[in-house]
Structure 1
Amino acid sequence: MAPVDDASPGAPLTKREFEALARFRFGIRRYLRFSEETVRRHGLTPQQYQLLLALKGFPDREWATVRELAERLQLRHHSVVELVDRAQGQDLVTRAANPDDARSVRILLTAAGEEVLGRLSALHRDELRRLDATLTPPTWGDSAFPAGGEPV
């Protein structure tokens, strides 16, 4: 993803665009609050839920390295190591040797991690369905009319 150029913001936003942006931001915050409260009620921290989700949702395989998880979670390597240590202590994840690279280990979900992740993710899916309209990204002046010429 290209970095955002804060020096040249472009055309000013219209009132409608401000409203759409505010509605979207409200939806994001509402979803995050729901997520944080829900995972805590189930005995996890939000970071642990994100770790489990990153593992289960990792493309094309059922494991990831700490380095890959750090990238996915946007955390520092040592923070992910601590997060994995705590999750392993709760029997949510396990470490396994990486036969392709002896310098790294594979992090995998345990059966208990799979079970709690499945339960929590179903609740998150249902909440996203409820917030559908609120979480629709805003359309901007020039993107309100796609190639076909009809408004979005």
Structure 2
Amino acid sequence: MSSMMSAMQADPADALVETSFLVMGILTEVAGRHGLSLTQLRVFGITQDREPRLSDLAAFLGLDKSTVTGLVDRAAARGLVERVRHESDARSVRIRLTDAGRELATLVHGEVHQELAGHLGALSPAARKDLTRYLRAVVGPPSL
């Protein structure tokens, strides 16, 4: 059993799975504090620095357009996002954070970073830099 455990501890895939459980737990907890689902939190993350079309947002999230429409409708009802027509194509509607949505996204982002910082505290600055580089190599560039 101990040889199996040490093999699992040395496996980067297992480490990534464990890390994803930790991060997902933190994201879910922080989102819940603000009445958001994990998927709504992802929408906030995506729309912080861009205004995606609903179809692009659905594709990026891996969800049906109707599901994302419901997410956006609920966020819009709370005054957190708005639909805006594209300047050059009136048929194209983009999703944008409102000022209230941006404030909440900034607050949630800070809380997530604070929670994660507690787990990164044991790493030296050089190890944190290495970890960032390795994770970016694994994840790759954003696709949206």
The normalised TM-score by structure 1 is 0.68
Aligned to 1:47: 39
Aligned to 1:7: none
The residue type paired with residue 86 of structure 1 is R
- Using the alignment, how far apart are the partners of 2:110 and 2:119 within structure 1? 14
Which consecutive aligned stretches of 4+ in structure 1 deviate over 6 angstroms post-superposition? none
Aligned to 1:37: 29
Percentage of matched positions with identical amino acids: 28
Q: Which runs of 5+ in 2 are unaligned?
A: 1-5, 135-144
- Using the alignment, how far apart are the partners of 2:79 and 2:111 within structure 1? 21
SS at match of 1:102: coil
User: Which of 101, 104, 112 is matched with 1:116 structurally?
Assistant: 104
Higher relative contact order (CA 8 A, sep 6+): 1
The normalised TM-score by structure 2 is 0.71
Aligned pairs for 1:1-40 (under 5 A) are 15=7, 18-40=10-32
Shift of 1:48: 1.2
1:21-52 per-residue CA deviation (whole Å, 9 max, x = no partner) reads 32321121011011101111112111111111
- Using the alignment, how far apart are the partners of 1:130 and 1:38 within structure 2? 14
Q: Which runs of 5+ in 1 are unaligned?
A: 1-13, 140-152
Q: How many residues were matched structurally?
A: 120
Shift of 1:72: 2.3
